[in-house]
Amino acid sequence: MQVRCLIDRIDPKVHDEWLFKWANSNKQLEITKGKTYVVMAISKYSNNYFYYLLGDESSDYPLAFPKVLFEIVNNKISKYWDCNLEFVNSISELDIKDQDVCSFIEWKNLKDLFYENLLEEDKQTVKVFESYKNKMLLEAELDNFDIELK
């Protein structure tokens, strides 16, 4: 799945209060308007969906960004995700419950613990993430190539 950034700056005069609070008053985010990103995972917290993707300043681990900042440009679900759908027109089709994660099996099963271990640079977790990250980036590249050929 790939998304394009629609909003890369949070303005308290324009955006919902929860979004401004999420951004922690940091108006400039690690994403670029118009840029396309590969979604590594999707989670749901307090009825808000978040995309985990590699920000502009870090490729070691994904960052979580609210879904409202993006539009879906490639709705194909990664074959590496533990998911029963191949394509989605809306994230709600994934039927993610609060606190759940939709991604590869290790992240899906461990939920927040997987992400915490990744941030703490647990060797096994980093190894697992790196493997899936590389596969998903290549998969997205090949999907884009297929689209260009059509």
Instruction: State the average pLDDT over residues 35-47.
Output: 95
Across the chain, how many H-helices and E-strands are there? 4, 6
Which of helix, strand or coil describes residue 63? Answer: strand
State the average pLDDT for the chain.
90
Q: Is the pLDDT of residue 25 over 60?
A: no
CB 9 within 8 A of CB 28: yes
Q: Is the pLDDT of residue 150 over 60?
A: no
CB 77 within 8 A of CB 87: yes
CB 29 within 8 A of CB 62: no
Residue bearing the bigger pLDDT, 38 or 23: 38
Alpha carbon distance 20, 17 (integer Å)? 5
What's at 34, amino acid-wise? G
Q: What pLDDT, in 10s, does the model give residues 56-100?
A: 988 889 999 999 999 999 999 999 999 988 999 888 888 899 999
* Radius of gyration, CA atoms only, the chain: 15
Q: Which helix (H) or strand (E) holds 149?
A: helix 123-149
pTM score, whole prediction: 0.90
Instruction: State the average pLDDT over residues 2-8.
Output: 94
- pLDDT value of residue 73: 95
